[in-house]
Structure 1
Amino acid sequence: MVKFFKHNIRKVRYFTTIISVLLTVIAIAAIGIKGLNLGLDFTGGMVTEVQLDKSVSSNQIVKQLQPEMGESVSVTSAGEEGRWVIRYSIPEDGSEAINVGSVLSSYSDQVEVVSNSIVGAQVGQDLFEQGGLALMFSILSILGYLCFRFEWRLASGSLLALFHDVILVLGFFALTQMEFNLTVFAAILAILGYSLNDSIIIADRIRELLVAKQNKSVKWVNDQAVIATFSRTMVTSGTTLITVGALWVMGGSALAGFSTAMFIGVLSGTWSSISIGTVLPEWLNLKAKHYRAVEVDAAP
């Protein structure tokens, strides 16, 4: 596998770039047509804390409530055994909210509603706006760092790879209509940092080779930079995916959105830094002369 990768690195880079372009188009279309299924964190709704039999699991509660309350209902542990926090949307037609205790009474012998609270739509709107500002601020900070660290042709590859990773995650959530909540948004911010780290390592190696091997073509330099960092990339991505996979399998519904977004982001971040991060500078005609020291005329 490694030998095949090294001998066909240029074909791999171009092929994955084509795949990235196709997936990005599909993701943008999904976002534009279906939109995101915003969770209660952004839209507002009801939050009910209940005490049930200790033998009842979160999946059983969700199956019992979804027919009555719809797909938006979510169940998370309140920290104590048998105590659960249930989030669900308020009926849009203005009718009275469904009594969670009465719905669960036919399923559990011990049902005690500990508390009921409402997350207002205004609070959800504020969270949405603040989250958008946080995302914009992080992207602008990354843009400033890349402009300072690399020549613009090389920096553009890393920046486009970042947008690619975020768009793919958003497109997946739009396509599947999984709930987009604050935990998913936190995963997107984490993906930005992860993808940037991977792209910078490869871009740094490209810059070093451009200075050291000025007689070589940019395509050759990019191939060698990817090969030189491939082992490190696979180890880092592999261990991260194992951790995220464990969260995905064992985290339950509370971490389903976070772990799904992280898994897709880490996977796409790995190949986008190899494909988009190296191919775009080639298309922009990056050359060794762009990193050659500028001669200063010392004549008086």
Structure 2
Amino acid sequence: MSISKMTISDRYFSNSNMTRLRKVMSAISIVLFMSSVMLVAVKGFNWGLDFTGGVVAEVQLSEQVTKNALKTKLDTAFQQDVQVVGMAEQDRWTIRYSQLTDTPQPNLVDALTTVSDQVKVLNSSVVGPQVGQDMVDQGGLAVLVCFLMIMLYLSVRFEWRLALGALAAIIYDVTLILGLFAFTQFEFNLTVLAAVLAILGYSLNDSIIIADRVREMLRGNPNGDTDNLLNESVKATFSRTMVTSGTTLITVSALWLLGGSALQGFAIALVVGIVSGTWSSVSVGITLPKLLGLQPCHYQVKAPVEVEGEYP
């Protein structure tokens, strides 16, 4: 292969280097996965009002006030971390807070009169604890159904070793996101759950692209070395994966930076999931099948056996 025709992955990653790199990535992935599991088990999540229940109110103030000043007053009045989100109109705000049962809470209008002379509550709704628990159950059911559909698809599409590698990569990505939210204690709400479901599909897409190429390489090289074939599959899809993930990250990063606090958790989960999905498709998606004994013979079409005998 001439230098001019070599791809970026061919120039910088030889088969020996790629094999070592995959092993290092796999070791790092194991550490991150175990750490995430421990964080979720020990620290748990900072559940949002969608799951715990609370009050959501839209108010209009007669005076201009900054978000920080308004939040400081409400945090002190309600003795908790009150969510304050500015709306399109400068004098309108969305306020979310939990209903504490162990301490008395002031009336929202009374709390707001400390920063504005006139306060108008445009609408207010209460999410009860039972509704919040129902959302937890429904969210968990949605993730479970998604996993079952993915397992069904993979079992039909690939040989079981590659299918198990793709499924393990998806589980790794979701666990990493959950571990991040447990570690940072960012609010886990319905928008974050939506991001987790989106990452399930994105991670599956990354894993399938590489798995498809692995399958082609194994079929076309019945006597080839499995490690070399896996490395060639990664290098063949490297440019496409980086371009796709890079352009998606640019869009999601803009959503993170410009979307405001309401979309922060959603954007963070997507950013981490996209990076993790690209990483795990190599460190988990094709490394696990190799450990399970994946060989080119598993994708060779067996010739029909002819039975000797008399035919009419």
Which TM bucket (shorter chain)?
A: over 0.9
Query: In structure 2, how many angstroms separate the alpha carbons of the residues matched to 1:199 and 1:69?
Result: 47
The structure 1 residue matched to 2:26, chosen from 14, 17, 27, is 17
Deviation of the 1:77 alpha carbon: 4.4
Mapped pair 1:144 → 2:149: no
- C-alpha displacement at 1:185, in angstroms? 0.2
Paired letter, 1:205: R
Tell me which amino acid in the other structure corresponds to 2:23.
Y
Partner of 1:52: 61
Q: CA deviation at 1:133?
A: 0.7
Given the alignment, which residue of 201, 218, 238 partners 1:230? Answer: 238
How far 1:97 moved relative to its partner? Answer: 3.0
Q: What is the deviation of 1:247? A: 1.1
* Aligned with residue 167 of structure 1, among 172, 175, 194: 175
Change (3 A) 1:57 1:186: farther
Per-residue deviation, 1:86:
1.0
The one-character-per-residue Cα deviations of 1:211-250 (angstroms, maximum 9, x if unpaired) are 0111111111110011000001101111111111111111
Q: CA deviation at 1:287?
A: 0.5
**What is the Cα-based RMSD across aligned positions, in Å?**
2.0
State the one-letter code of the partner of 2:207: S
- Mapping of 1:175-186 within 5 angstroms? 175-186=183-194
**Deviations for 1:249-272, whole angstroms, at most 9, x for unmatched residues?**
111110011011111111111100
Deviation at 1:294, TM superposition (A): 2.2
Q: Which moved further from structure 2: 140-149 or 66-75?
A: 66-75
Whether 2:13 is the aligned partner of 1:6: answer yes
**149-158 vs 107-116, greater mean Cα deviation:** 107-116
Deviation at 1:4, TM superposition (A): 6.5
Is the alpha carbon distance of 1:111 and 1:2 closer, same or farther for their aligned partners in structure 2, counting shifts above 3 Å? farther
The SS at the match of 1:243 is helix
| Alpha-carbon distance in structure 1 between the residues aligned to 2:275 and 2:201 | 14
Q: Residue deviations 1:177-209, cap 9 Å, x none? A: 111100000000000000000000000000000
Deviation at 1:109, TM superposition (A): 4.8
Query: Measured at CA, do residues 268 and 103 of structure 1 come closer, stay the same or move farther in structure 2, by a change above 3 Å?
Result: same
Give CA deviations for 1:14-71 in whole Å, capped at 9, x if unaligned: 1111111101111000011011111110111111211135854545533442344355
Query: Following the alignment from structure 2 to structure 1, what is the Cα–Cα distance between the partners of residues 62 and 306?
Result: 84
When residues 5 and 32 of structure 1 are mapped into structure 2, their CA distance, relative to the original with a 3 A threshold, is: farther
Change (3 A) 1:291 1:133: same
Matches within 5 A, 1:31-70: 31-52=40-61, 55-69=64-78
Secondary structure class of the residue paired with 1:277: coil
C-alpha distance after superposition, 1:129-178 (max 9, x if no partner): 11111110000000010010000011111100000000000011111111
Aligned counterpart, 1:30: 39
- Do the aligned residues in 1 keep the contact of 2:65 with 2:115 (CA within 8 Å)? no
The residue type equivalent to 2:132 in the other structure is G
Question: In structure 2, do the counterparts of structure 1 residues 286 and 71 end up closer, same or farther at CA, with 3 Å as the change threshold?
Answer: farther
Contact 1:72 1:179 in 2 (8 A): no
Amino acid at match of 2:37: I
Name the residue aligned to 1:298. 306
Tell me the residue number matched to 1:207. Answer: 215
Matched, 1:273 2:281: yes
Larger Rg over CA atoms: 2
CA contact (8 A) 1:184 1:257 kept: yes
**CA displacement 1:90-123 (0-9 Å, x = unmatched):** 1131x44333333333334553222332111111
Residue 244 and residue 109 in structure 1: after superposition, are their counterparts in 2 closer, same or farther (change >3 A)? farther
TM-score, normalising length from structure 1?
0.93
Taking structure 2 as the reference length, the TM-score comes to 0.90
Counterpart in the other structure of 2:5 = none
**How far is the alpha carbon of 1:13 from its aligned partner?**
1.5
Are the structure 2 counterparts of residues 283 and 70 from structure 1 closer, same or farther at C-alpha, using a change threshold of 3 Å?
A: farther
- Check if 1:88 corresponds to 2:97: yes
Where structure 2 has 5 or more consecutive residues not aligned to the other structure, the ranges are 1-7
Distance in 2, matches of 1:45 and 1:235, equals 42
Shift in Å, 1:80: 4.2
- The aligned amino acid for 1:214 is P
Paired-residue identity, %: 50
Residue type at the aligned position of 1:41: D
